């Protein structure tokens, strides 16, 4: 692993900027930033699995939902303290990740995407009918314990979580493991032909992705204080996660982060003009254009721009 | 019992129509069109707008829905699928995005609330305790007529045979002088028309709302996964399995669980028999 | 450092097709053997069974006297067998150096994370197959067919094999590129590497091998010194398709 000083400087600048932000902007913007942070966590989680290994997951809300529902049920119905329920939720999500993994060991490509989509829809329907006394059925649950009070604290907590996940994933993906996972996305057979156990690598990617999804889902739900099946197991939610990773730049850590912030603020910017779900029209249209024009995302546009600047100098 | 049988047949006929457009694209173009459900959405709303709001006759509304579906199919092929050059993942992701965009477009034009579609043909028939709305009967009969027409088209016309050739061996078809671009464009147009018509009938079954595209997409996916590709007969058979399973479960166990069995079928088949019940090629 | 391979009674059926028909042969340590036969004779299928990509219907595959049929492909590679493919399969978005790095990785996630690889060795490997220093940062899409084959050799050599199975190493190469690959094989032979080589280019193959095995329709037709094998009437007949 080789670290370059300018990488460290950029991360330090980001951390510092985030720390100072509450002194510079109002609470409204901070609340938007909180959503961007959680979206970034989910997009990074998606990317660890799908952006790297090429196994496109359409079921990430399934994983996030396991984490969110586990901690919601434990705290609300069984009065388990948050310090215990969140770790349990993360473990439950990792088990859920393993369940999704099983078909992935046998099927590839489009079929994997479809089976994960089916898992998400299955979860959506099951949550409403099985033990509604626990899950709250179609309406979900509200009045869940929240971890923080006020926008500033919520912002610091979500930022710390997001940066911890982003930096550790960034470091992890700079090791040879990152190259091995990316190689699976390019040619699984050749990875096997290089003497590496592809199954073990895929398992690692799944579990890591599930770990992040569960952690993010659990903290997110304790920020919102409420949970509803339609908000979680929803194609629009899935769409936002995938689009954040893709238009930021899949296969990188910084890409999903940029994508999440870009999308959240775009959505916020559109709010005065299009107050309802119609915002997704402009938002999705832009995402589609960027994806068609530059499948490697905004980060590739940046790099190309920097390259051009470097050459002209 | 009779109720289940009649409703099962009516629903399955409609499912066959809906799934057919999706299967066609999968077998000829070898890609999954996740925006397929949007044809149903747009088709349903087109019919609603012309027949219910503007007062056109029902037949004209249906025809216009089919035309709009056709145009959407062509546009999707020319503007998205072809420029992406047939990469599976790219097509899946961009069609998923497109579906969400179109859903938002419908919200923009027609609003968020759901709309009740008046029966295409009013009235009900009572049959030994089973009530059958004429609309549902029409949907099933129309589905069968359209499917029969499609079957004849694929079997007996030059273009239809070319479609079969492309679905069996795209490269071989090109070598033998078939313009695969043209065939693909035609397939996308047919798929769009089938989806849009299916959407009108589907909406008359349930209701018209911006999120209505997800359920039929899942049903189509189930039919393709279980039934394999490229066979009209296989699609018919599996559409009946799915249709009857849903009707039976919602009549005998609980109506809320009707979607669950479809999902379990998809997951079960993919995990236990990755090649599908009737065999399937790798994509 | 060398290894012996013993294949006995190998049979592979694909449905009704008999792809490998009771095939037995042995390769001694340090030997180089050519596997020849007409198109569709089942040469590549033999390779994929030795590597565990296809499980044989019956028969045994022994490496240094130890049965390896139960092992996964990656476990076999760690035992020192590796193969190249008729169509090279590089990682398109990785550079030449990174492609080699994948071959060099240990099969342990912990070690991949905690220990960085031996960059010196990576460069050495790339240079040893004939890449120039300036090629290390290039992507596979910029490479010629000859360089792609070199890249595949370098990546498989990085797994530290003792027995290499080369599938059609000369296909699609210019005369100059053929001689580069041939020289590479010769120098590896001098270092004691064991080879099993499939090639249609018999002229290029001849100097690289100690003896040849001819197969047709999955069954062995002849075995022995190269000249004897290609003069064998049954081998000639199989190439002409008259058997």
The pLDDT value recorded for residue A220 is 94
Instruction: State the pTM of this model.
Output: 0.88
pLDDT of residue B23: 86
pLDDT confidence of C243, banded at 50, 70, 90? very low
Is B8 part of any domain? no
CB-nearest to A183 from C73, C102, C159 is C102
Q: Is residue B147 part of a domain?
A: yes
**Residue C95 CA to its chain's centroid (Å):** 23
| B101–A280 CB contact, under 8 Å | yes
Average confidence (pLDDT) over A263-268:
86
Residue A43's pLDDT is what? 95
A191 contacts chain C (CB < 8 A): yes
| The pLDDT of residue A67 | 93
Q: How confident is the model at residue A312 (pLDDT cuts 50, 70, 90)?
A: low
pLDDT digits (tens, 9 = 90+) for B88-102: 778 888 888 899 889
Q: What is the pLDDT of residue B193?
A: 92
Q: Which residues pair with C224 in a beta bridge?
A: C212
Q: Please tell me the predicted confidence (pLDDT) of residue A104.
A: 67
Mean pLDDT of A219-226: 91
**Residues C198-234 pLDDT 10s:** 988 888 888 999 999 999 888 888 888 988 888 888 8
Q: What share of chain C is helix, strand, coil (3-state, %, to 5)?
A: 40, 25, 35
How would residue B276 be classed by pLDDT, with cut points 50, 70 and 90? low
Do residue A288 and residue B101 have CB atoms under 8 angstroms apart?
yes
pLDDT digits (tens, 9 = 90+) for C172-206: 888 888 888 899 999 999 988 999 999 888 888 88
B221 and A281 within 8 Å at the Cβ level: the answer is no
**Residues C49-67, mean pLDDT to the nearest whole number:** 89
- pLDDT tens track for A114-171: 888 888 888 888 888 878 788 887 888 888 888 888 888 889 999 999 999 999 999 9
Confidence class for position A44, pLDDT limits 50, 70, 90:
very high
Q: What is the pLDDT of residue A313?
A: 46
A249 close to A259: Cβ distance less than 8 angstroms: yes
How high does pLDDT run on average in chain A? 86
The answer to the question of residue B259 being in a domain is no
User: Within an 8 Å CB–CB cutoff, is residue A186 touching chain B?
Assistant: no
Residue B66 lies in a domain: yes
Q: How far apart are CA C115 and CA C106, in angstroms?
A: 10
| Pick from A58, A106, A281: CB nearest B108 | A281
The percent of residues above 90 in pLDDT, for chain C, comes to 23
Candidates C102, C118, C158: best to mutate against A (most CBs of A within 10 A) is C102
Can chain B be said to touch chain C, i.e. do they have 3 or more Cβ pairs within 8 angstroms?
no
Query: In this predicted structure, what is the pLDDT of residue B262?
Result: 83
Residue C28 has pLDDT above 50, yes or no: yes
Q: Is residue B159 part of a domain?
A: yes
Using DSSP bridges, classify how beta strands C194-198 and C163-167 pair: parallel, antiparallel or unpaired. parallel
pLDDT at B11: 86
The answer to whether the Cβ–Cβ distance between A201 and C109 falls below 8 Å is yes
Any chains having at least 3 CB pairs less than 8 A from chain A are B, C
Computed over every residue of chain B, the mean pLDDT equals: 82
Q: What is the mean pLDDT of residues C118-127?
A: 85
pLDDT band at C124 (very low <50, low <70, confident <90, very high): confident
Fill in the DSSP letter of residue B153.
H
For residues B196-200, give the mean pLDDT.
90
Mutate to test the interface with B, among A117, A124, A189, A286 (most CBs of B within 10 A): A117
pLDDT at C197: 93
Q: Give yes or no for A102 touching B (CB within 8 A).
A: yes
Exposed, middle or buried: residue A25 (CB in 10 Å: 0-12, 13-18, 19+)? middle
* Region A242-256 average pLDDT: 88
Contact at CB, C109 and A204, closer than 8 angstroms: yes
Name the residue of chain C whose CA is nearest to A201's CA.
C109
Cβ distance A111 to B270 less than 8 Å, yes or no, reads yes
B279 domain residue, yes or no: no
Range of the domain at B122: 17-210
Give the burial string for C78-93 (b: 16+ CB within 10 Å, else e): bbbbbbbbeebbbbee
Question: Across residues B17-27, what is the average pLDDT?
Answer: 87
Q: Which residue in the set A177, A179, A198 is minimally distant from C94, CB to CB?
A: A179
- For B101-149, how does the pLDDT look when each residue is reduced to its tens digit (9 = 90+)? 898 888 888 888 888 877 777 777 776 666 777 888 888 888 888 888 8
List the single residue in C73, C90, C116 with the smallest CB-CB distance to A192: C73
Mean pLDDT of A88-111: 81
Q: Mean pLDDT, chain C, as a whole number?
A: 87
Q: Is residue B109 part of a domain?
A: yes
- Cβ contact, residue pair A186, C72, below 8 Å: no
Q: Cβ contacts (< 8 Å) between A195 and chain C: which residues?
A: 74, 77-78, 82, 103, 105, 107, 159
Chain centroid, CA B228 distance in Å: 15
Average pLDDT over residues C42-70: 89
Chain B nearest-CA distance from A306, in A, is 26
**Stretch A82-88: mean pLDDT:** 90
**Does the beta carbon of A169 lie under 8 angstroms from any beta carbon of chain C?**
no
Inter-chain CB proximity B100 and A236 less than 8 Å = yes
- Cβ contact, residue pair B100, A280, below 8 Å: yes
pLDDT bucket at B282, cuts 50 / 70 / 90:
very low
Q: What pLDDT, on a 0 to 100 scale, did the predictor assign at position B281?
A: 45
Option in A56, A125, A285 nearest B92 (CB): A56
Residues C93-106: pLDDT tens digits?
Answer: 899 999 999 988 88
Give the residue, B278 or C171, on which the prediction is more confident.
C171
Nearest CB to A191 within list C72, C102, C158: C102
Sign of the dihedral through C-alpha B12, B15, B16, B17: positive
Percent of chain B with pLDDT over 70: 93
- C vs A contact (3+ beta-carbon pairs below 8 A): yes
Identify whether B278 is part of a domain: no
- pLDDT digit string, tens, across residues C29-49: 989 999 988 888 888 899 999
In total, how many domains does chain B have?
1
Task: Please check whether residue C112 is in contact with residue C173, taking contact to mean a CB–CB distance below 8 angstroms.
Answer: no
pLDDT at A48 over 90: yes
A242 contacts chain B (CB < 8 A): yes
Q: A118-122, A228-232, A241-245: which has the highest mean pLDDT?
A: A241-245
């Amino acid at each position: 692993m080789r670290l370059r000083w300018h990488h460290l400087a950029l991360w330090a600048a980001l951390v510092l900027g985030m720390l100072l932000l509450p002194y510079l902007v109002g609470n409204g913007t901070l609340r938007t930033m909180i959503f961007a942070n959680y979206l970034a966590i989910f997009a990074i989680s998606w990317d660890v699995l799908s952006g790297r290994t090429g196994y496109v997951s359409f079921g990430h809300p399934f994983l996030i939902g396991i984490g969110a529902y586990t901690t919601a049920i434990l705290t609300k119905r069984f009065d388990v303290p948050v310090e215990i329920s969140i770790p349990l939720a993360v473990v439950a999500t990792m088990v859920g990740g393993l369940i999704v993994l099983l078909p992935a060991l046998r099927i590839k490509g489009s079929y994997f995407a479809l089976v994960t989509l089916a898992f998400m829809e299955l979860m959506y329907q099951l949550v409403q009918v099985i033990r509604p006394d626990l899950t709250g059925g179609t309406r979900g649950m509200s009045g869940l314990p929240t971890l923080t009070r006020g926008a500033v604290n919520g912002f610091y907590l979500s930022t710390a979580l997001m940066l911890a996940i982003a930096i550790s994933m960034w470091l992890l993906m700079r090791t040879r493991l990152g190259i091995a996972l990316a190689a699976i996305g390019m040619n699984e057979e050749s990875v096997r032909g290089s003497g590496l156990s592809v199954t073990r690598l895929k398992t690692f990617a799944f579990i890591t992705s599930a770990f992040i999804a569960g952690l993010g889902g659990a903290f997110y739900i304790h920020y919102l204080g409420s949970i509803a099946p339609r908000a979680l197991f929803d194609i629009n939610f899935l769409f936002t996660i995938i689009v954040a990773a893709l238009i930021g730049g899949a296969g990188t850590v910084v890409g999903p982060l940029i994508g999440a912030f870009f999308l959240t603020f775009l959505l916020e910017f559109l709010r005065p003009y299009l107050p309802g779900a119609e915002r997704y029209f402009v938002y999705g249209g832009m995402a589609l254009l960027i994806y068609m024009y530059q499948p490697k995302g905004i980060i590739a546009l940046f790099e190309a721009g920097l390259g051009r600047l470097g050459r002209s100098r | 019992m009779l109720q289940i049988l009649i409703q099962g047949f009516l629903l399955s006929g409609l499912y066959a129509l809906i799934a057919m457009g999706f299967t066609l694209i999968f077998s000829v173009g070898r890609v999954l069109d996740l925006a397929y459900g949007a044809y149903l959405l747009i088709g349903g709303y087109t019919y609603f707008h012309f027949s219910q709001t503007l007062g056109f006759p029902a037949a004209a509304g249906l025809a216009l829905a089919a035309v709009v579906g056709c145009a959407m199919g062509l546009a999707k092929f020319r503007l998205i699928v072809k420029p992406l050059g047939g990469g599976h993942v790219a097509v899946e992701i961009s069609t998923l995005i497109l579906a969400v965009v179109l859903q938002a477009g419908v919200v923009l034009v027609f609003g968020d609330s759901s709309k009740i579609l008046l029966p295409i043909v009013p009235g009900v028939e009572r049959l030994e305790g089973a009530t059958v709305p004429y609309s549902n009967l029409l949907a099933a009969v129309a589905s069968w007529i359209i499917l029969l027409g499609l079957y004849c088209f694929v079997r007996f016309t030059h273009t239809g045979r070319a479609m079969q050739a492309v679905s069996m061996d795209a490269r071989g078809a090109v070598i033998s002088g078939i313009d695969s671009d043209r065939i693909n464009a035609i397939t996308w147009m047919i798929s769009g028309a089938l989806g849009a018509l299916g959407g009108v009938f589907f909406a008359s079954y349930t209701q018209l709302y911006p999120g209505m595209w997800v359920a039929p997409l899942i049903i189509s996916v189930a039919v393709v996964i279980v039934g394999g590709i490229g066979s009209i007969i296989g699609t018919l058979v599996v559409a009946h399995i799915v249709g009857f399973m849903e009707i039976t479960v919602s009549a005998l166990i609980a109506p809320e669980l009707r979607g669950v069995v479809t999902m379990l079928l998809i997951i079960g088949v993919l995990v236990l028999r990755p090649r599908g019940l009737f065999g399937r090629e790798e994509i | 450092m060398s290894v012996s391979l013993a294949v006995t009674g190998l049979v592979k059926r694909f449905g009704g097709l008999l792809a490998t028909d009771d095939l037995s042969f042995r390769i001694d340590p340090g030997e180089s053997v050519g596997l020849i036969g007409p198109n569709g004779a089942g040469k590549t299928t033999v390779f994929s069974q030795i590597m565990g990509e296809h499980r044989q219907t019956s028969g045994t595959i022994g490496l240094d006297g130890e049965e390896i049929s139960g092992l996964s492909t990656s476990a076999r590679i760690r035992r020192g067998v590796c193969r190249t493919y008729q169509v090279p399969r590089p990682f398109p978005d990785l550079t030449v150096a990174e492609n080699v790095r994948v071959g060099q990785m240990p099969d342990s996630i912990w070690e991949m994370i905690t220990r960085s690889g031996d960059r010196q060795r990576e460069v050495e490997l790339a240079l040893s197959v004939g890449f120039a220093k300036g090629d290390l940062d290039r992507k596979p899409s910029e490479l010629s067919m000859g360089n792609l084959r070199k890249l595949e050799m370098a990546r498989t050599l990085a797994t530290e094999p003792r027995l290499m199975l080369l599938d059609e190493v000369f296909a699609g190469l210019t005369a100059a590129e053929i001689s580069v690959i041939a020289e590479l094989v010769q120098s590896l032979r001098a270092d004691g590497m064991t080879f099993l080589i499939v090639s249609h280019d018999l002229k290029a193959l001849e100097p690289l091998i100690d003896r040849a095995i001819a197969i047709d329709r999955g069954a062995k037709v002849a075995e022995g010194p190269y000249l004897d094998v290609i003069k064998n009437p049954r081998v000639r007949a199989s190439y002409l398709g008259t058997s």
